[in-house]
Amino acid sequence: MKCSETRRILRSGERPDERMLEHIRECGACARVAEREEFLTTLLKHAPAIDPPPDFDRTLMNKIESRRDSAASRTLVRPGILVPASAAVLLIAVLAIAFVLFRGQTAPEVAGPGIEEAPVTGSSETNVETGTNSEDLPDRNEMAGPVEGSASDLPAEPGAGSDPVEPAQDNEQVFEGGSRDLAAETPEDIVPPWADGTPRNVPDKVPARMLTPRELLAELGIEAELESGGWKVVSVRQGSIGSRAGVRKGDLIKALDGRPLTDAPLDAGGKRLQIVRGTRQMTLSIRP
Amino acid sequence: MALDRFELEQREVERPAVSHSELSDHDLIDATREGDEAAFAEIVSRYKGQLTNYIFRMLGDYEESIDLAQESFVRVYFAIDRYHSGYAFSTYIYRIATNLAISELRKRKRRKLYSLTGLFSYDDESDEVYQPPDDRPHPEEEVVSREMRETIGKAIISLPDRYKAPIILREIEEKTYEEIAEILGLGLGTTKSRISRGRGILRQRLERYLESDTDEVQ
């Protein structure tokens, strides 16, 4: 074995094998190198040492306990879950607010069809959609129950005595013979409910077309003659619309929904007749 | 049949109690997996001394060494289900400790890099303050003086990082080349080469002790 190879192996820190030991015994220079490398190894083994502190184990167990607790809390509330959960809560809140706002805006519209489909007293129209008689329709109104509060603000429904959407209180009074000062009411105060785009509740029997007052009154079953300030009722046909509205012979019909009845043609649509009976001014509701 | 099972359970319960100190590392790991805290305490007892010293010789910082040694055990504890007995437990825990120590050394280098004080007062010799708190008289005090021990410590700590762990593992912890290669994740040739180069550096730094020794020998 060559000296160079022996010294290279000795300096690398490798332990000499039997063949190397034999060479070292024979070679004084390599023996000194071996001794020197051995002493270096001995020196390194005497690098300073420390003893772990007495509370090493206790501190370690505290760390483990602490880490275990934090791991448990992470399991309960994982960041990966926290973010989607917050997003879901936020989304639900936004949807709830949007629903409330949407409901507030659309409540009258929702109530509208329910009112239109409300039963009309005396009517025997058959509901095409359900095949049931219109008297069954209160059930449909119950479907609009959640918006009842809004529906109560809608215009009066003629003839819908038991309907949740009752006619306006003033109309009730008029129907029962109450009187109002016609002079105090301007045409703008007595706007027909469908004139502003609200659902039309007047039955088809009252034609929405241009008629002369005579023709209009004739359709209501009223025969009248034009006098100064209005149409004097000559007769009222039994069971007619005019009769149900409470028009009597001798009444002076002055206006329809605030529109003065002269000889000129007018839109036949209307709900209220302003009349003078004797000395009293009255408004009668037309109930087809 | 039920009686047989009962007797079997009885035998299991009455199994002669083996002291934890007699169990192998792998048996202690298995026991720890089953919830035996005393088994884990035995593992800690076996390795805390050498692990703390290993890290201390890498860093030269007593408090940090204790902390990182404990952190090594914490990591073993929480990853105990993932540990497999394919290789020695000592290799496993030394690898964890080595990674923690190297990570700490890198942090210190970054701190030094960004520290103005570090930039202007860097001194290879004075940078590492080596103050071992062990004041007990060493049995070989007469052979290796305290001053010599401190010099040895400084020489090791001042080694480049890539040589430090291989030298400590080989010359102080007396691991085999194969174990060192496994702990450090290096090839066998690279491991030997690093040890050889590290020894070369130490030989130069400890020259005066080696010369005197050589003189004495001669």
Out of 1.10.10.10, 1.10.20.60, 2.40.160.40, 1.20.1250.20, select the CATH number for domain B123-132+141-218.
1.10.10.10
- pLDDT tens readout for residues A9-43: 888 888 888 888 888 888 888 898 888 888 899 88
Find the domain containing A247 and state its range: 173-285
What is the per-residue pLDDT for A174?
Answer: 40
Which pLDDT band, with edges at 50, 70 and 90, does A79 fall under? low
- pLDDT tens readout for residues B73-101: 999 999 988 888 787 899 999 999 999 99
CA distances from B200 to A153, A192, B60 (A): 101, 111, 21
The b/e string for B128-142 (b: 16+ C-beta within 10 A; e otherwise) is bebebeeeeeeeeee
Task: State whether A189 and A143 are in the same domain.
Answer: no
The closest CB to that of A32, out of B62, B73, B217, belongs to B217
Task: Check residue A239 and give left, alpha or beta (phi > 0: left; psi -120 to 50: alpha).
Answer: left
Q: For residue A59, list chain B residues with Cβ-Cβ distance below 8 A.
A: 70
Q: For residue B45, list chain A residues with Cβ-Cβ distance below 8 A.
A: 57
Q: State residue B54 phi and psi, 5-degree precision.
A: -60, -50
- B interface mutation test: which of A9, A30, A43, A45 has the most B CBs within 10 A? A43
CATH architecture of B21-115: Orthogonal Bundle (1.10)
Average pLDDT of chain A, as a whole number: 69
Structural domains of chain A, count: 3
Q: For residue B44, list chain A residues with Cβ-Cβ distance below 8 A.
A: 56-57, 60
Has residue A137 been placed in a domain? yes
Using the 3D structure, point to which of A126, A160, A194 is the last residue of a domain: A160
Task: State whether A177 and A151 are in the same domain.
Answer: no
Has residue A124 been placed in a domain? yes
Contact of B158 with B124, CB cutoff 8 Å: yes
Which pLDDT band, with edges at 50, 70 and 90, does A183 fall under? very low
A50/B contact by beta carbon, under 8 A:
yes
What is the per-residue pLDDT for B152?
Answer: 92
User: Which SS3 state, helix, strand or coil, does residue A86 take?
Assistant: helix
CB pairs < 8 Å spanning A and B: 114
A66/B contact by beta carbon, under 8 A:
no
State the helix-helix crossing angle for B62-78 and B37-59, rounded to 10 degrees: 140
Task: State whether A241 and A280 are in the same domain.
Answer: yes
How many angstroms separate the CA of residue A62 from the nearest CA in chain B? 10
Domain boundaries, given as residue ranges, for chain B: 21-115, 123-132+141-218
Has residue A98 been placed in a domain? no
Question: Does residue A254 have a pLDDT over 60?
Answer: yes
Task: State whether A28 and A109 are in the same domain.
Answer: no
Task: State whether A200 and A280 are in the same domain.
Answer: yes
A71/B contact by beta carbon, under 8 A:
yes
Which pLDDT band, with edges at 50, 70 and 90, does A107 fall under? low
Question: Does residue A135 have a pLDDT over 70?
Answer: no
Question: Does residue A116 have a pLDDT over 50?
Answer: no
Give me the mean pLDDT over the A90-104 stretch: 88
How many angstroms separate the CA of residue A15 from the nearest CA in chain B? 11
Has residue A58 been placed in a domain? no
Question: Does residue A3 have a pLDDT over 70?
Answer: yes
CA distances from A79 to A82, A84, A90, A147, B31 (A): 5, 9, 17, 42, 33
Provide block-wise average pLDDT over 10 residues at a time, chain B (218 residues).
48 58 90 88 95 94 94 94 85 95 91 58 44 52 74 92 94 93 94 94 89 49
Q: For residue B132, list chain A residues with Cβ-Cβ distance below 8 A.
A: 48-50
